[in-house]
């Protein structure tokens, strides 16, 4: 896996323990959500050495942690990933657990190499490679894809410093509709608004 520190403690699927595993990976994908998994599908078909790294203990965990009433706004026939249709009836709107189940089964079916329970703490360019520092050690890779998504922390309107008694300020994160432009990086967007995450 091209680790330079101690061996990883998270789950690695498709671990290669040969001497070839010590040379830098071709690609490391940070994030094993839908964007990271779609990238893995294309990387696997190119025959490159790659690894997905995700901070969650299992694929789909980010979806499972969302609010219970969450449903996709797009119908199921548009919710698949490369090489796989979403397993739901046409014109239905899958819930969060349906999405989590789909992502987990997609990763397992395709046997993507995924290191779970691992957080990337920093990344440094070194000569022709990147040193990706994680909570499991340092991984060397020639290229890095950031597919972490933009919604890992709840966002809400900024709390006013002074307010009248008639203004209600939520004490817990609330869902807020924002427009997110399509981004050049897989799964990474910048939200141009004056929202503060907490």
Q: Do 134 and 159 sit in the same domain of this protein?
A: no
Q: What's CA 48's distance to the chain center, in Å?
A: 20
Q: Do 130 and 160 sit in the same domain of this protein?
A: no
- The domain tally of the chain equals 2
Domain that holds residue 36: 1-148
What is the number of residues in the chain? 198
pTM over 0.75: no
CB 173 within 8 A of CB 156: yes
Average pLDDT (88-96) is: 95
Q: How far apart, in whole angstroms, are the C-alpha atoms of residue 137 and residue 142?
A: 17
Q: Do 134 and 164 sit in the same domain of this protein?
A: no
Predicted local confidence at residue 96, as pLDDT: 94
Q: How far apart, in whole angstroms, are the C-alpha atoms of residue 132 and residue 3?
A: 9
State the Cα torsion 136-120-37-181 to the nearest 10°.
170
Q: Which of 78-92, 136-150, 173-187 has the lowest mean pLDDT?
A: 173-187
Q: Do 143 and 168 sit in the same domain of this protein?
A: no
The mean pLDDT of the chain is 78
Q: Do 24 and 39 sit in the same domain of this protein?
A: yes
- Nearest of 71, 48, 51, 38 to residue 8 by alpha carbon: 51
Q: Do 168 and 73 sit in the same domain of this protein?
A: no
Predicted local confidence at residue 71, as pLDDT: 93
Q: Do 97 and 192 sit in the same domain of this protein?
A: no
Q: How far apart, in whole angstroms, are the C-alpha atoms of residue 39 and residue 32?
A: 9
Q: Do 73 and 160 sit in the same domain of this protein?
A: no
Beta bridge partners of 197: 155
Q: Do 26 and 108 sit in the same domain of this protein?
A: yes
CB 96 within 8 A of CB 64: yes
Percentage of the chain lying above the pLDDT 90 cut: 60
Domain with 115 in it: what CATH number? Answer: 3.50.50.60
Q: How far apart, in whole angstroms, are the C-alpha atoms of residue 195 and residue 100?
A: 27
For residue 128, name the pLDDT band (cuts at 50, 70, 90). confident
Predicted local confidence at residue 107, as pLDDT: 97
Tens digits of residue pLDDT in 26-74: 999 999 999 999 999 999 999 999 999 999 999 999 999 888 999 999 9
Q: Do 63 and 109 sit in the same domain of this protein?
A: yes
CB 41 within 8 A of CB 103: no
Beta bridge partners of 138: 133
For residue 170, name the pLDDT band (cuts at 50, 70, 90). low
Q: Do 6 and 62 sit in the same domain of this protein?
A: yes
Q: Do 29 and 119 sit in the same domain of this protein?
A: yes
Of the residues 133, 148, 163, the one at which a domain ends? 148
């Amino acid at each position: 896996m091209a680790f330079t520190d101690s061996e990883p403690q998270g789950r690695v699927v498709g671990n290669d323990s040969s001497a070839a595993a010590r040379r830098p990976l071709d690609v490391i994908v940070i994030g094993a959500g839908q964007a990271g998994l779609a990238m893995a599908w294309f990387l696997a078909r190119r025959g490159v050495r790659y690894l997905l790294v995700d901070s969650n203990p299992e694929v789909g965990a980010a979806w499972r942690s969302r609010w219970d009433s969450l449903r996709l706004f797009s119908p199921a026939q548009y919710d698949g990933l490369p090489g796989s249709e979403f397993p739901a009836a046409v014109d239905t709107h899958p819930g969060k657990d349906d999405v989590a189940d789909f992502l987990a089964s997609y990763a397992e079916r395709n046997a993507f190499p995924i290191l779970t329970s691992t957080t990337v703490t920093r990344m440094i360019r070194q000569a022709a490679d990147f040193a990706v520092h994680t909570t499991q050690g340092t991984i060397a890779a020639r290229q890095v894809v950031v597919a972490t998504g933009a919604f890992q922390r709840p966002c809400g309107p900024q709390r006013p410093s002074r307010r009248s008694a008639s203004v209600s300020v939520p004490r817990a994160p609330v869902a807020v509709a924002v427009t997110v432009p399509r981004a050049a990086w897989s799964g990474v967007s910048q939200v141009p608004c004056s929202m503060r995450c907490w």
